[in-house]
Structure 1
Amino acid sequence: MKKIVMLAAVASFALSTNAMAQDGKAVYEKACKTCHSIGLAGAPKFQNAADWAPRFEKGMDAMLKSVNNGMNAMPSKGACIDCSDEDYKAAINYMAGK
């Protein structure tokens, strides 16, 4: 019985780690770097304050809406279908150098 409980606990933890927030750098490396490193199709460039300032003026909610719905050439969810809003916030702040 103890083995079954332990296996269930390990399985539960393994499944829940996907729901845990990822750090901004990890999300950037996984899903954002290709476009944001060079500003492809008008994407704000990585740690370029001038590119990010107007977006931050609109607020984080507006940026999250753009990520979730897609914008210009960026697909919805920004090519990170398993990312949460918290993951996106971390990636946005990382890319903006905050």
Structure 2
Amino acid sequence: MKLLLLAATTLLLSSMAHAAQDPEAVFNRSCGACHNGQLPMAPKKGDTAAWTPRLAQGMDKLVQHVTDGYNAMPPRGLCTDCSAEDFQAIIQWMSK
């Protein structure tokens, strides 16, 4: 019984781990148009000086901004199939 429970838990966790999309792929298809420097008010990927004050707001606030839209960013940041987990991973990837 314990082995069955362990196998089910492992399967569930592995399926959850694969639910997130690749941050770089999402950036290239949805975020890069603005976050590659074309839109001056959007923090550029890798610009730690621009990202530091944003990250200080907390990840929940940043994910909310992406989800709801913020300033010139449209709701969901043009990624209609992204989850909150995806947005978090993309923000972390862009801020480095």
Structure 1 and Structure 2 fold alike (TM over 0.5)? yes
Shift of 1:39: 5.2
Gaps of 5+ in 1: 1-15
- Distance in structure 2 (CA, Å) of the matches to 1:77 and 1:38: 19
State the shift of 1:41 in Å: 4.7
Return the TM-score normalized by structure 2.
Answer: 0.78
Give the ranges of 4+ consecutive aligned residues of structure 1 lying more than 2 Å apart after TM superposition. Answer: none
Deviation at 1:27, TM superposition (A): 1.2
Query: Which letter does structure 2 place at the counterpart of 1:49?
Result: T
Aligned-pair RMSD on alpha carbons? 1.6
1:24–1:89 Cα contact (<8 Å) kept? no
1:20 Cα deviation after fit = 1.8
Which residue of structure 1 lines up, in the alignment, with residue 66 of structure 2?
Answer: 67
Relative contact order (alpha carbons < 8 A, sep ≥ 6): 1 or 2 greater?
1
User: What one-letter code is carried by the residue in structure 2 that aligns with 1:69?
Assistant: D
Runs of at least 5 residues in structure 2 that lack an aligned partner in the other structure: 1-14
* 2:51 counterpart residue number: 52
TM-score (norm 1): 0.76
Q: Structure 1's 56 and 39: CA in aligned 2 closer, same or farther, altered over 3 A?
A: farther
> Helix, strand or coil: the match of 2:56?
helix
**Equivalences for 1:1-98 in 2 at 5 Å?**
20-38=19-37, 40-97=39-96
Deviation at 1:82, TM superposition (A): 0.5
When the two structures are aligned, how many residues end up with a matched partner? 80
